[in-house]
Amino acid sequence: YCDLIRKKRIVEADKAKIQDVILQLDEKKKQVLQQAWEKVNKDFGSIFNTLLPGTGAKLQPVEGQSVLDGLE
């Protein structure tokens, strides 16, 4: 019985570590996607201006949604 309790504690500790790693990875993913969005938006505007001088363009998320919505 004591062995099972010990193993249960190990599993629970491992689960907590895994959940922590998942949260860290989700935060990193959000940061990287935001940086990519900003770079693409900047480059898109630059290309658009090159094709049609004196104009500009920018990407915008759908109203009420963020940059991350719709990504899987």
pLDDT of residue 36: 92
Quote the pTM value. 0.69
- The CA distance from 23 to 9, in Å, is 21
57 near 44, Cβ under 8 Å?
yes
Say whether pLDDT at 15 is over 80.
yes
In this predicted model, what pLDDT tens digit does every residue of 22-72 receive, in sequence order? 999 999 999 998 899 899 999 999 998 999 998 888 888 778 887 777 665
Question: Domain residue spans in the chain?
Answer: 25-51
- The CA distance from 42 to 58, in Å, is 7
